[in-house]
Amino acid sequence: MKNMNMNMYIQFVLIWSFVVLGHGLSRNLPIISFDEGYSQLFGDDNLMVLKDGNSVHLSLDERTGSGFVSQDLYLHGFFSASIKLPADYTAGVVVAFYMSNGDTFEKNHDEIDFEFLGNIRGKEWRIQTNIYGNGSTKVGREERYGLWFDPTDDYHQYSILWTKAHIIFYVDDVAIREIKRTESMGGDFPSKPMTLYATIWDASEWATNGGKYKVNYKYAPYIAEFSNFVLHGCTVDPVDLTSLKCEDAPNTKIPTGITPSQRAKMESFRKKHMQYSYCYDKRRYKTPPSECVINPKEAERLKRFDPVTFGGGRAHHGKSHRRGQAVAAI
């Protein structure tokens, strides 16, 4: 009887691990090689494609950071990469995985950002998410979070789902933020075709405690590893921005929204790990932007985190990057 229970237990565990693993967000989406989807943006040999063609190392040293860019422009889709961040002392280092069309629309660009902010030794990396729509750079919608794992130990999957109706940021299988398009946001919701970017660069001016801790090149090179590239969306011809070509693989399962159980997980993540939200930043917004729903308990909880400084936005995809001089703009 005891053995029987043990067997059932093992079966139960096996089935559940299968279900949980099988639930992977991009389970059925094609993983492409670096060359199939991306090209180098800057950084000379600080970008290194590994032999298998499926992984890339981006490094930052005293000469330059580095970055890559998708070959195609996309309007909506599911975009994902597994990333392993550099360990130890990484203050001032920023790794960004984001979408932007700042090259095409200089005055009214859109952007969807994951930014990873390095830290001093013994303190964890934090992630920041943000969006801009149609040049809304005066209204930063940043949020910052700690993670429930050490992102320097192993690869983790970071994904952006972008549809007409919402944007969802995922870390592994966990939705960490959902931005619903609301009427009152107007053009602030990203709505024009964008390219994907990944960069590593020196953001000493702002990234760690508002610039208190700078990049220390004694610890260089700082290497961020990227793998498992998913670029699954509608591509747009850069010459004719209205021409849409949508992938239509019958077995693909792009998440189209958040299930109730994912929503519960998301709420619990946010209660535990969110350290900053623009909605609660009274220094920046006397009246929070219209989409904000204020929870007094949350306001109280967020007070205990360090004040933050922002240098994101245009800085990480500015023209300076193409020249390989990663200069923070703010």
Ligand X SMILES: *[C@@H]1O[C@H](CO)[C@@H](O)[C@H](O)[C@H]1NC(C)=O
Which residues form the interface with ligand X (CB under 6 A)? Answer: 108, 134, 186-187
* Active-site residue (options: 106, 111, 124, 183): 111
Supply the minimum distance, in Å, between the C-beta of residue 130 and ligand X: 18
Of 24 and 186, which CB lies nearer to ligand X in the complex structure? 186
Of 181 and 273, which CB lies nearer to ligand X in the complex structure? 181
Of 186 and 238, which CB lies nearer to ligand X in the complex structure? 186
Side chain identity at residue 187, one-letter code: G
* Active-site residue (options: 115, 142, 143, 225): 115
Tokens of 254: 């792009």
Supply the minimum distance, in Å, between the C-beta of residue 134 and ligand X: 4
Tell me whether residue 205 is one of the annotated catalytic residues: no
- Checking phi first, is residue 165 left (phi over 0); if not, alpha (psi -120 to 50) or beta? alpha
Supply the minimum distance, in Å, between the C-beta of residue 140 and ligand X: 18
Contact 116, 265 (CB under 8 A): no
Supply the minimum distance, in Å, between the C-beta of residue 253 and ligand X: 31
Alpha-carbon radius of gyration of the chain: 20
Distance CA 123, CA 17 (A): 31
Distance CA 277, CA 103 (A): 28
Of 135 and 288, which CB lies nearer to ligand X in the complex structure? 135
Of 25 and 185, which CB lies nearer to ligand X in the complex structure? 185
Tell me whether residue 111 is one of the annotated catalytic residues: yes
Supply the minimum distance, in Å, between the C-beta of residue 316 and ligand X: 22
The set of residues, in sequence order, having a beta carbon less than 8 Å from that of 308 and lying 6+ positions away, is 142, 144, 210, 276
Distance CA 197, CA 43 (A): 13
* CB closest to ligand X, residue no: 187
DSSP 8-class letter at 217: G
Contact 42, 321 (CB under 8 A): yes
Residue 303: how many other CB atoms lie within 10 Å: 8
Distance CA 119, CA 93 (A): 8
Q: Which positions are annotated as active-site residues?
A: 111, 115
